[in-house]
Structures are given as C-alpha cells and as structure tokens.
Amino acid sequence: MIRLRGHHLLCLLGYRGMGYSEAYVRNMTEVYEALRTDPQTRVCIVAGPDDLCDHFPEDEPYHCQSTSVHRRDAKVLSRLGLRAGQCLPWREIERRVRDRVRPEDIRSLCHTCSWRSLGVCEEGVDLVRRRLPLPPAPPPP
C-alpha cells in the first residue's frame, strides 16, 4: 500500500527521474516503478504529506504543507472524483485520469507547480489516455 496525496497522482504520471534530491529521486523511482509494473498496487489517498513527501530534503524549504499545495491536491481529487481516506488500485486511478483529465488540464490543475513547465505531466496524461504504458524510470543516481 502506498500513501499519496492528490496532486502526486498526476506527478507520478510525468515522473522521468527528476526530483529534489538523490534520496527523493530514489524513493519516487521505487513508488513509480511499483505502480507502473503492478497496477493492482493499492493507493490510499491522504490529505497532506504522503510517502513522497516523507523523503523531501531537510535542507530545502518544506512546501508539503503549503496552502497552494493543499489547493492543488483538492483540485486534482475533485477532478478525479476521489477524497482523502479512499484506498483503491492504481489501475482505477489511471482509469479516472483517462476518463476525466486531458493533457491541457495540467495548466489549470497545476498552475502553481514549478515542474509544470517541463511538460512531462501532460505527456504522462496523454499516455494514459491513449492506453499506452508509462516508460520505465531512468536508473536513480
């Protein structure tokens, strides 16, 4: 079981081996690969910091409790028809993304995200919508 907050459901679709630190990238790669290779993996939706936030570097400003991040979570969960406390297989999250999110929605759902300009989340949503597999993550540093 993996605990994830709302916006990380979309972040993981665009994960391509980048992150805040080596430890963060290693952890995110493990989570991403678990979901990518076993879509039956159970995901429990949480309000606030999750299994990815747990590895946020201590020497960086901790934004996992910021108002803008909580707002982003709420927007994504609303779009997907999910709420904190629900547990479901990753495959069901991908189905909801396929049915309810378009690549261009990332602009409005994640407009405050510093990673948005890379375009990888739009690419991930597009792959899911076309029922194509997510690519393997690059090996961690």
Could you read off the pLDDT tens digit of each residue along the chain, which spans 141 residues? Answer: 999 999 999 999 999 998 888 998 999 999 999 999 999 999 999 999 999 998 887 777 657 878 999 999 999 999 999 999 999 999 999 999 999 999 999 999 998 888 888 899 999 999 999 999 999 999 866
pLDDT at 62: 59
Burial of 96 (0-12, 13-18, 19+ CB in 10 A): middle
pLDDT at 94: 97
Q: Is 7 helix (H, G, I), strand (E, B) or coil?
A: coil
pLDDT at 65: 79
pLDDT at 141: 62
